């Protein structure tokens, strides 16, 4: 952004200069302009949700504190197996899920043991049960987590972690269109309010999109899928919509005073 409140800067006007009104982004020659930012923030229900249910083996004793070697009187548990996840899978299918929607996989152990006197950085690994839901509803996700928690309570090997949710759209074209329309409406409303306050008329604006637009939440041109902000922690009653934000810069030439 360029600021025009810098000491020593003298704006250029026509022969009969009107009051200097606004120049926020880039100079527009010798014309006085009003510049505004239009912000379009819209959302759309996800077409698909992936609910990841993480598990780790239960430790028979508390692990050593940070900086204490795991070799001293503490053993890591055996890695989990797919067979140990089967009660979870069966309970979820019994609750009404399709078998094809429930996938289980093992996260292999990672060896990071370092020589004495450094602490061990190894991990016993864990397991995931991933549930895929089309046209997801939060009541369904809540039920899945409750069913999983109830089943884990009967196990002496499974430690249930924090579920994660990933949302997906088949196409983001309509969401992008809605976001741009909302940004245009936002800019027009702001520009009209400024013009009314200054008692001026505005001409057709020049429009640009900020360079940082790809960093805003939303869709990507090289993919049919959009994952919003990626995995996010599951919360009961959470919103299962994907949000898109678009910003547009509008430069309105002042037509008359």
- Name beta bridge partners: 132: 50
Structure tokens, 85: 């996840």
Q: How far apart are the C-alpha atoms of 153 and 162, rounded to whole Å? A: 15
Are 176 and 246 a contacting pair, CB within 8 Å? Answer: yes
Q: Are residues 121 and 214 in the same domain?
A: no
In a domain, 20, yes or no: no
Is 28 contained in some domain? no
Q: Any idea which residue has 């520009």 for tokens?
A: 191
Residue 146, domain CATH: 3.30.70
Phi, psi (deg, nearest 5) at residue 164: -125, 145
Please indicate, yes or no, whether residues 109 and 162 belong to a single structural domain of this protein.
yes
User: 185: domain CATH number?
Assistant: 3.30.110.170
In a domain, 16, yes or no: no
Which tokens belong to 208?
């640009």
Q: How far apart are CA 148 and CA 146, in angstroms?
A: 5
pLDDT number for residue 95? 95
Which pair of tokens denotes residue 11? 């704006």
In this structure, are 92 and 150 located in the same domain?
yes
Q: How far apart are CA 252 and CA 141, in angstroms?
A: 48
Q: Residues 170, 43, 174, 221: what is their CA dihedral angle, to the nearest 10 degrees?
A: -60
71 domain-assigned: yes
Cβ contact 57:161 at 8 Å: no
Q: Are residues 127 and 37 in the same domain?
A: no
Contact 125, 109 (CB under 8 A): yes
89-118 residue pLDDT tens:
999 999 999 999 999 999 887 665 555 555
Show the low-confidence residues of the chain (pLDDT under 50). Answer: 1-25, 220-229
Classify the phi-psi angles of 214: left when phi > 0, otherwise alpha if psi is within -120 to 50, otherwise beta.
Answer: alpha
pLDDT of amino acid 58: 84
- Residue 152 domain boundaries: 48-168
Does residue 20 contact residue 27 with C-beta atoms inside 8 Å?
no
Q: Is residue 27 part of a domain?
A: no
> Is the backbone of residue 130 left (phi > 0), alpha (psi -120 to 50) or beta?
beta
Write a three-state SS string for 42-111. Answer: EEEECCEEEEEEEEEECCCCCCCCCCCCCCCCCCCCCCCCHHHHHHHHHHHHHCCCCHHHEEEEEECCEC
């Amino acid at each position: 952004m360029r600021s025009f409140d810098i000491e020593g800067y003298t704006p250029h006007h026509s022969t009969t200069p009107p009051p200097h009104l606004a120049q926020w982004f880039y100079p527009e020659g010798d014309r006085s302009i009003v510049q505004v930012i239009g912000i379009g923030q819209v959302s759309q229900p996800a077409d698909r949700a992936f609910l990841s249910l993480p598990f780790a083996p239960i430790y028979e004793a508390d692990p050593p504190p940070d900086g204490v070697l795991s070799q001293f009187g503490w053993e890591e548990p055996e890695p989990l197996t797919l067979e140990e996840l089967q009660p979870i899978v069966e309970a979820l299918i019994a609750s009404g899920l399709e078998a094809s929607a429930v996938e289980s996989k093992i996260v292999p152990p990672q060896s990071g043991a370092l020589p004495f006197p450094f602490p061990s950085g190894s991990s016993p690994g864990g397991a995931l049960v991933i549930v895929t839901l089309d046209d997801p509803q939060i009541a369904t996700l809540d039920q899945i987590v409750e069913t999983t928690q109830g089943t884990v309570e009967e196990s002496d090997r499974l430690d249930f972690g924090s579920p994660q949710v990933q949302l997906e759209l088949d196409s983001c074209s309509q969401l992008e269109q809605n976001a741009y329309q909302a940004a245009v409406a936002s800019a027009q409303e702001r520009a009209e309010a400024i013009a009314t306050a200054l008692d001026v008329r505005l001409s057709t604006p020049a429009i640009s999109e900020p360079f940082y637009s790809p960093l805003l939440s939303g869709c990507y041109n090289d993919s049919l899928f959009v994952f919003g902000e990626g995995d996010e922690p599951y919360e009961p009653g959470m919103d299962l919509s994907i949000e898109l934000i678009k910003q547009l810069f509008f430069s309105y030439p002042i037509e008359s005073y």
